[in-house]
Structure 1
Amino acid sequence: MIQALSVLAVSLLTHFSPSMVGLSAVVAGAVVLWVGRQLLRQEREIDEAGRRSDVIFEQLSEGVVLIDHVRNLATMNKAAARILGVSGPAVAHSELRRGYEVLSSEGRPLPESEWPSSLAAKGRYVRSLELQLIRKSHGDVRYVEVSSSPIHNHKGVSTSTLLTYRDITEARRAALARERLASIVDSSDDAIIGKDVDGIVTSWNRGAEKVFGYSAEEMLGRSIRILIPEGLVSEEDDILSRIRSGETVEHMETERRRKDGSLIQVSATISPIRDSFGNIIGASKIARDITERRRLERQLRQSRKLEALGQLTGGVAHDFNNLLGIILGNLELLGEMLEGNEAALGRVRSVERAAGRGASLARRMLAFSSREELSPARATLSDLVNSTLELATRALGPEIDIIPSLDETTPPVFVDSAALQNALLNLLVNARDAMPKGGSITITTHVAHLDDAYPPVVAGELKAGSYACLSVSDTGHGMSAEVLEHVFEPFFTTKSRDKGTGLGLAMVYGFARQSGGTVRIYSEPGYGTTVSLYLPLSDDDAQAYPQLEDSSDDIVIGNGVALVVDDESDLLEVAVSYLRALGYSAVGVSGPAQALEMLTRQKVDLVITDIIMPGGMNGVELIEKLRQMQCDIRVVYCSGFPADALAERRMLHLDGPLLHKPYQRREFIAAIRKVRAQSPSAEMRAPLL
């Protein structure tokens, strides 16, 4: 640079006259010195800028790679070496290409012709393409965003390729973890709900849709109070207050209202949600529908209560029998001693008759407690029923119609014949007493297949399998739900004191349990009662009879909208669950009025309706009205009364299968299959009964 400045100075001096050479030399020297200083400063600045560029290049968090025109690796920064897992720019580009498997963000293998570097070499620009890089030697997976661009010279010819890599592995894994968590939350059968501190719903999973009946679109942005029955509104205020104070509400059992208006029992845990600063911004709620569990618990408590009562009653009856034995024995001896004293003997005979009634009472108490000695043997159920009716028909009176409907194909049972006839007589007398103005008693027999989900099986009263079922249905006044809770308890009766001891049904219950079966009762106030005895088949016949099989082959894949109408909330939930599992969009309502209202808003393909419901309209009448609104509805009817008993109530026009309550899943599927095979046309509606 100094030599260049000297040449410049000489050149300047040659342009001046000799007289001015001296002055010019001074000026030229100053100019040269100034220019030199400027050039030196610019050179230092350029060097400093280069060093800063190198520092920035190396400190970039994004990886930068430069590939020359022959696809050799010209340079890369530290971030690129770290992301690509190599020691530095000394590695050959060909080695990099061979060392990696490149996949798209969806996991599709990418051929080298589709790599960003290859596309840039063809003059194409790539922006933020998400890729998976798998090191073949280690199996290490990196998620990266790659951009590439060709670099052109002043003639527009591509001379090299610039690649930038942004490592998004952690972000991608975090996103995948969130997606997995969201999938787990969404697939949970429990309702998982988010809400803010004012109770406004912010998240709503599919489990919440199943439990409460509302879709996410219907609930997001609305108050959670829509689920709370009127009498429990203050409960939510207390929950939100506890959440705001940082408290977690654990395993709270309460009642909530579904979209269809039915009430369900839920167990809920509500926890506060905090932001990154620790401030409470809302709450997460996990709610589980425990309606079915509560029902099974009630049944189990009832079963255990009856078992405890049986033990107590059996102990009392046993001691009472011993006392009566002493009393009767001494009365017999006293009678011999008072021979000839008619007045005294009359009193002895009166006491003997009372003691005899006490002994009969003790035997019935022992029957309830399952301590009466039975002698079970193989017997034909229809023969036992017919022989009992021969004795009972006259005693029941002419105002009572007896209607037997016996399935002669029912295999023999293994029971004490006398005890069974006694139990049947008790049921007939109870039925007669429930119809003081006359009526009809329907007696049916059939084989029932009970699976693991049947309530008595769940409660441990029975084992799953095939049983003979004997049902006695009357057209009497029926019983309320409160009375049904106590009907099998000894000495419980709704009769006047001179008309019963309250041991009739208790004896029937004890006989059934001691025989290895059970008893179920269904009643509707104003319509009557059905009592069903489930009795074991004899061993040989039980083995020969077709056993229960998996019903998976019978599953019907449904479609369309199904409506369930039932005033029993437990069965309503069961039917809705069955239908949704079959593929239907199912809605449950608790009465005919809600069913009619729904049909004004939506077309329905299938209706499952209870026949006897409160409110002045039964299921048959409901279907007649629904068919006036939509004639092509397929129908399945449900009732706790057998078909023959319903016929006696003049409910003859059932244009669909009849499910007997409480039904099981296999029976439900069979009814759906049957009704789907029928034509929905109004012309095809023939009476079932």
Structure 2
Amino acid sequence: MDTAGNIQRRLAAIVEGSEDAIIAKNLDSIILTWNPAAERIFGYSPDEVIGRPITILIPDDRKDEEADFIARLRRGERIANFETVRKRKDGTPIPISLTVSPLRDDEDNIIGASKIARDITHQREAEERQQLLLSEMRHRVGNSFAVASGLLSIAARHAGSVPELVTVMRQRLNALAAVHSQAVSDPSGRKAEGTTLSELLGAILEPFTGDSPAQMEIPEVHVCPAALTPISLVVFELATNAVKYGGLSQNGEGIAIRANRLGDRLIIHWKESSAPAPASGEADHVGFGTRMTQSTVSSSLGGTFSRDFNTEGLTATLDLDLALVTGSSPSRSSDENVAATGGEKRASTMSADSCAE
């Protein structure tokens, strides 16, 4: 038989076992109850918060929300799924979804409120990832047309006939598709494969450069699977812009890539002549492609990306964590460079760094 005591114990068990913070307060905003999930989410123990104003959880710029809640509660209103920000004991902000309901006494008078606070950090992160993906898709779809146009211009310079132009374009577009597939086929990097940095750069640049000048001076570095995608995306972005605006455009003077090891860092310099400043005309303008490149380099390669426009053209610099590129601990051997010019690749005479699987 469900007695009042049994029902009370069941309700208490539900509150104690909830993954959401469940808090009771009076109409003066004083905290009355505090369940384990509230302690986990906000960092305060019950002894630290019961009897204190709930405003200790509210950032200064959102204090007005509590006054609005109290006014609505006095009118008997219920606030459902209100997304806002609160702060933990250590001061860090946390996005939450609030549902606030009036509490009534035996005479149906409103005496306070119950609050259910759900941590929506993961939901917000997923939404941000989705927005980034959509922005990247829009950016890359637009780039695809620009790249095709640029490749057509490059091929047309040297094609002696329409059939030759068709053949060259088909080869370059197929190569471009292969590189793009390589860049996105296994974002998790779980496949136990890899390649050398020289081979990777050569494969990425082949459909862009054709007969255009391309000089590379690359050390013998093995690129592990997890680093293939971010490096491919970054170089693909640089090559795309070079075809549209810079060293690989119709009036461009080619590109030069030089890389070297500095302790536990891998430094890659990309230099192209006749690369104009950004389309906005502002030297410090940062477009989506640059922001995406900076984010990719920082989050996946433990490094930084910078660029410098001058009268001679563009110099872009990637400062990468060598261990994240190779998938192994930093090498103790001395720096050794193997040069390859004009896109030509040389066979390795050294054993590659082992790649993490």
Q: 1: distance between equivalents of 2:148 and 2:135?
A: 20
Question: Paired residue for 2:138, among 291, 308, 319?
Answer: 308
In the alignment, structure 1 residue 385 sits paired with structure 2 residue 193 = no
Question: Paired residue for 1:243, among 73, 79, 92?
Answer: 73
1:276: how far off? 2.2
Distance 1:207 1:530, change over 3 A: farther
- Could you give the per-residue CA deviations for residues 563-607 of structure 1, whole angstroms, max 9, x where no partner exists? xxxxxxxxxxxxxxxxxxxxxxxxxxxxxxxxxxxxxxxxxxxxx
Equivalent residue of 1:198, what SS?
Answer: coil
1:180 — aligned with what?
10
Contact between 1:403 and 1:442, CA under 8 Å: does it hold in 2? Answer: no
1:272 — aligned with what?
102
Equivalent residue of 1:372, what SS?
Answer: helix
Distance 1:523 1:192, change over 3 A: farther
1:303: how far off? 1.4
Larger Rg: 1
In the alignment, structure 1 residue 293 sits paired with structure 2 residue 115 = no
Contact between 2:216 and 2:257, CA under 8 Å: does it hold in 1? Answer: no
In the alignment, structure 1 residue 374 sits paired with structure 2 residue 187 = no
- Could you give the per-residue CA deviations for residues 133-168 of structure 1, whole angstroms, max 9, x where no partner exists? xxxxxxxxxxxxxxxxxxxxxxxxxxxxxxxxxxxx
Q: 2: distance between equivalents of 1:440 and 1:521?
A: 15
Q: 2: distance between equivalents of 1:289 and 1:316?
A: 43
Contact between 1:431 and 1:441, CA under 8 Å: does it hold in 2? Answer: no
Q: 2: distance between equivalents of 1:300 and 1:281?
A: 42
In the alignment, structure 1 residue 195 sits paired with structure 2 residue 7 = no
Letter in 2 for 1:644: P
Equivalent residue of 2:143, what SS?
Answer: helix
1:235: how far off? 1.6
1:388: how far off? 7.0
Question: Mapping of 1:665-680 within 5 angstroms?
Answer: none
Relative to the length of structure 2, the TM-score reads 0.54
Relative to the length of structure 1, the TM-score reads 0.30
1:301: how far off? 1.3
1:593 — aligned with what?
none
1:265: how far off? 0.7
Distance 1:181 1:305, change over 3 A: same
Q: 2: distance between equivalents of 1:181 and 1:386?
A: 65
Distance 1:389 1:523, change over 3 A: closer
User: Where does the alignment leave 5 or more consecutive residues of structure 1 unmatched?
Assistant: 1-168, 334-358, 433-437, 444-472, 477-490, 510-518, 536-640, 646-689
1:285: how far off? 0.5
Equivalent residue of 2:106, what SS?
Answer: coil
1:191: how far off? 0.3
Distance 1:178 1:308, change over 3 A: same
1:313: how far off? 2.3
Question: Paired residue for 1:224, among 50, 54, 66?
Answer: 54
Question: Mapping of 1:120-269 within 5 angstroms?
Answer: 173-269=3-99
Equivalent residue of 2:61, what SS?
Answer: helix
Equivalent residue of 2:107, what SS?
Answer: coil
Q: 2: distance between equivalents of 1:475 and 1:321?
A: 25
1:440 — aligned with what?
262
1:315: how far off? 3.5
Contact between 2:21 and 2:38, CA under 8 Å: does it hold in 1? Answer: yes
Letter in 1 for 2:262: S
Distance 1:272 1:430, change over 3 A: farther
Between the two structures, name the one with larger relative contact order (CA 8 Å, sep ≥ 6). Answer: 2
1:305: how far off? 1.5
1:423: how far off? 6.1
Distance 1:503 1:227, change over 3 A: closer
Equivalent residue of 2:136, what SS?
Answer: helix
Q: 2: distance between equivalents of 1:174 and 1:274?
A: 17
**Percent identity over paired residues:** 29
Equivalent residue of 2:300, what SS?
Answer: strand
1:308: how far off? 2.3
In the alignment, structure 1 residue 644 sits paired with structure 2 residue 330 = yes
Distance 1:218 1:501, change over 3 A: closer
Q: 2: distance between equivalents of 1:474 and 1:308?
A: 30
Distance 1:258 1:321, change over 3 A: same
- Could you give the per-residue CA deviations for residues 2-60 of structure 1, whole angstroms, max 9, x where no partner exists? xxxxxxxxxxxxxxxxxxxxxxxxxxxxxxxxxxxxxxxxxxxxxxxxxxxxxxxxxxx
Q: 2: distance between equivalents of 1:213 and 1:534?
A: 34
2:114 — aligned with what?
284
Letter in 2 for 1:312: G
1:501: how far off? 12
Contact between 1:520 and 1:531, CA under 8 Å: does it hold in 2? Answer: no
Distance 1:214 1:430, change over 3 A: farther
1:431: how far off? 9.4
Q: 1: distance between equivalents of 2:258 and 2:68?
A: 51
Letter in 2 for 1:246: G
Letter in 1 for 2:76: G
1:195: how far off? 0.5
Q: 1: distance between equivalents of 2:292 and 2:115?
A: 46
Distance 1:319 1:523, change over 3 A: closer
Equivalent residue of 2:64, what SS?
Answer: helix
Equivalent residue of 1:373, what SS?
Answer: helix
Q: 1: distance between equivalents of 2:35 and 2:97?
A: 17
1:281: how far off? 0.5
Equivalenced residue count is: 259
